[in-house]
Structure 1
Amino acid sequence: MSQNHQIKRGVSLYSFQNDTFLRTMTLEDCIRTCAEIGAKGIEVVGEQTFTGWPEVGMPMAEVAHWHALMEKYGTYPVCHDFMLDYKRVKGRLLSFDEQVASVKKDIDFGAALGAPYIRALVSIAPEVLVACASYAEDKGIKILIEIHAPLHFDHPWIIRHAEAYEKSGSKALGFLPDMGMFVHRFPRVWKERFVRNGVPQHIADYIEKAYEDRVLSEYVLLDVREMGGTGPSLAMAETLRHNAAFEPKRMLDFMPRIHNIHGKFYEMTEDDVEYSIPYDEIVAVLKAGGFKGHICSEYEGNRWIEDAHPVESVEQVKRQHRMLCRLLDEPMPAALQAQAR
């Protein structure tokens, strides 16, 4: 197979959150799994993987272990996903200077891990990130704001970020689109969970159809109330406020500052297709735009099934990478071929 792109496969270890929380997978298990499926780029959430970070400071022994695993399995760091808790200090909002200092601390951590990128939460003001840009440049780090539903590339908050980045002139500021922006079909695992939570079938069917028809969420909420829906039914309808089928082509105008992709997915079917997110369209746009970074798997279907079904994170990630191999015209590693259909 020939490749006419520079898109690479990776995995966010957030995909294995159930496994690491329940201690059925160690960090080494996660890294080995990624290596076996040929997803050499590793994205990590510091709070998930490193004990006590950031409250206890730099966990040097664990950082050394991280580098040892990278070398052992031939993997490499892509991104450190950091948080900024505005109310971390005794319930009060952090000052501007405190926010800047917090981000710089995560820049240092990303550099210690060897990651070229750190993921910033979309709630962080652009002025904070601009103030950190030169520090990031000195550390060889790019700060990427995550574009996460319900926000999108035409949202005023994201436009404000884009304008601030251009005005700064810094190449250390960019974007990390989350593919949850492109939920073109109401996820089946969501609907099934809401029904188990008590949503009447006819209301669940109506909400699913309303999403398919792109009905305004406020109208759907009104209709659900008139149908007698309460509690879980309203919660299901509320998902329409926070998710939408935005257009993948909107990434093209921002491609020079897009350096990493969160390959969000909720359910990979047995046919190795994401049920609700059109990855064929997405990958085509990334190819057309000359994207040169990683698509890092981010499995979030676990929280929708764990009440009733085993969470098979590894199998779900494998299915996504079989799909990505196909879409990226990439030879399939033996660990994926064994289960390919």
Structure 2
Amino acid sequence: MTVEDCVSFAASIGARGIEILPEQNMRSFPNVTDHEVGAWKDMMARHGCEMTCYDMFLDTKLRSDRLMTDEEQVESIRRDLILCNTLGIRNMRVLVFVRPDILERCVPYAEDLDVHMGVEVHAPWHIEHAWILRTIEVADRLGTRHLGLLPDMGIFMKHYPPVWRARFEREGARPEVAQFIVDQHDAKIMAEYTIYEVAVKMKGTPVEVRMAETLRHSPYSNPKRIRDFIPYFRHIQAKFYEMNTDDTDPSLAYDEVVAELIAGGWSGYLSSEYEGNRWVQDVQPVDSREQVRRQHRMFERLLSQRTGEQN
């Protein structure tokens, strides 16, 4: 599929908000030409879409094998803020490892360009993690509405993804060990305990230990806490690994999350981020379009159910 094929498909299922990754999607990046900016805006207009979020990257290690200075990091982010504004986008995804003090220096640029810098809350971090709260502290101290959070829904993993388990079993994990790991995740046992049990007590194979180690990156944040942080959200990345044929997600607690977002009065885009392809592509063709279609049908159902209850 071309980029325009992707935009056309999204529009066809009613998903008219398009999140972009300029570093990957724009041929003239980082010195994006006026012609390419115009071409993107024209493409959005053709399909009745709008660009909703700009995904920035920060290459803190330069090709000369030295780390970027703080000044170079600030200038790189400023470059992205300018392009984000030029494209008419008001939300920018910031990678979680960008230091809060660096972002503090970028706030004046974000305010001048009217772009919200949302630090991606990505597993294994969670909304109330001390590192994430440092960004909140900076935003509150500065009294700015141009710095906040951008939650990745992978932090709400209620159940271990079946596609993960199936992949590890195909690679040789014993079913009883896989079941133990799944049960430990459901019980929300600390990952390090499970890894120890599998590696030492169960004499786990390298594949089984790798499966247990995925628990380090599979947090289940409390959806009830979302409402307290909604003022810091402008965009959400709707991570998922698979959708069932009945348009339900077997792993992530979207029913609880969407209910809390609606109850908290949040308004914005949830942008599909399908990452199940890497877990199934060894045995079957990947149909990303069908997976995204099912997720959006789920969103439509959850939205209609919750708004109907409120009315």
Q: Same fold judged by TM-score > 0.5?
A: yes
- Asked if the contact 1:193–1:304 (Cα under 8 Å) also holds between the matched residues in 2, the reply is yes
For 1:137 and 1:154, how far apart are their aligned partners in 2?
25
- Asked if the contact 2:73–2:102 (Cα under 8 Å) also holds between the matched residues in 1, the reply is yes
Q: Quick check: 1:165 aligned with 2:149?
A: no
CA apart distance, 1:48: 2.5
Structure 1 gaps of 5+ residues are: 1-24, 331-341
1:274 aligns to what?
A: 249
- Asked if the contact 1:266–1:299 (Cα under 8 Å) also holds between the matched residues in 2, the reply is yes
For 2:171 and 2:61, how far apart are their aligned partners in 1?
32
CA RMSD for the aligned pairs?
Answer: 1.3
Percent identity between the two aligned chains: 44
Encode CA deviations 1:143-196: one digit per residue, 9 max, x unaligned.
110111111121110111110111112111111111100000000011111111
Q: 1:166-205 alignment to 2 at 5 Å?
A: 166-205=140-179
Q: Quick check: 1:123 aligned with 2:71?
A: no
1:296 aligns to what?
A: 271
1:86 aligns to what?
A: 60
2:296 aligns to what?
A: 321
For 1:69 and 1:161, how far apart are their aligned partners in 2?
35
Counterpart residue type for residue 256 of structure 2:
E
Encode CA deviations 1:306-341: one digit per residue, 9 max, x unaligned.
1111111111110011111111119xxxxxxxxxxx
For 2:234 and 2:112, how far apart are their aligned partners in 1?
18
Q: 1:250-289 alignment to 2 at 5 Å?
A: 250-289=225-264
Q: 1:97-176 alignment to 2 at 5 Å?
A: 97-176=71-150
Query: For this pair of structures, how many residues does the alignment match?
Result: 304
Q: 1:241-252 alignment to 2 at 5 Å?
A: 241-252=216-227
For 2:83 and 2:209, how far apart are their aligned partners in 1?
41
Q: Which of 297, 305, 309 lines up with 2:280 in the alignment?
A: 305
SS at match of 2:14: coil
CA apart distance, 1:240: 0.7
For 1:115 and 1:204, how far apart are their aligned partners in 2?
44
For 1:62 and 1:231, how far apart are their aligned partners in 2?
47
CA apart distance, 1:112: 2.2
For 1:95 and 1:197, how far apart are their aligned partners in 2?
43
SS at match of 1:118: strand
SS at match of 1:328: helix
Counterpart residue type for residue 90 of structure 2:
P
CA apart distance, 1:59: 4.2
2:3 aligns to what?
A: 27
For 1:143 and 1:325, how far apart are their aligned partners in 2?
28
Structure 2 gaps of 5+ residues are: 306-311
TM-score (normalised: structure 2): 0.95
SS at match of 1:329: helix
CA apart distance, 1:107: 0.7
SS at match of 2:304: coil
CA apart distance, 1:89: 4.3
Counterpart residue type for residue 77 of structure 2:
V
For 2:186 and 2:285, how far apart are their aligned partners in 1?
28
Q: Which of 187, 190, 212 lines up with 2:186 in the alignment?
A: 212
Encode CA deviations 1:238-268: one digit per residue, 9 max, x unaligned.
1111111111122211111111111111111
1:53 aligns to what?
A: 29
- Asked if the contact 2:237–2:271 (Cα under 8 Å) also holds between the matched residues in 1, the reply is yes
- Asked if the contact 2:126–2:219 (Cα under 8 Å) also holds between the matched residues in 1, the reply is no
- Asked if the contact 2:28–2:36 (Cα under 8 Å) also holds between the matched residues in 1, the reply is no
TM-score (normalised: structure 1): 0.86
